[in-house]
Amino acid sequence: MNINISEHHTSETCTWCEKSKECVTADFNDAFIGKAAMCWNCLQKAVKVSSRKETDETSGHNRKPTD
């Protein structure tokens, strides 16, 4: 996973929680999240989601078909 924080905003609407907060523009190099302005709180969540997804992908070669 590669996260690139490109901008800092003292007050911006977070893409995730839609509250006006201190935000950063983070580029996740990931189709799921992509590039988004988000607050620090949501950034941490996004990192968790993204790293969990990455773990699933590396260990999930044995995918069961969904029924």
Of the two residues 30 and 36, which places its CB atom closer to Zn ion in the complex? Answer: 36
CB 3 → Zn ion: shortest distance, Å? 15
CB of 56 to Zn ion, least distance (A): 24
CA distances from 58 to 21, 39, 61 (A): 34, 28, 7
User: What does the binding site for Zn ion look like in residue numbers (CB under 5 A)?
Assistant: 14, 16-17, 39, 42
CA distance 42 to 33: 12
Cβ-count burial of 28 within 10 angstroms (0-12 exposed, 13-18 middle, 19+ buried)? buried
Q: Looking at beta carbons only, is 16 or 30 nearer to Zn ion?
A: 16
Q: How far is the CB of 63 from Zn ion (least distance, A)?
A: 31
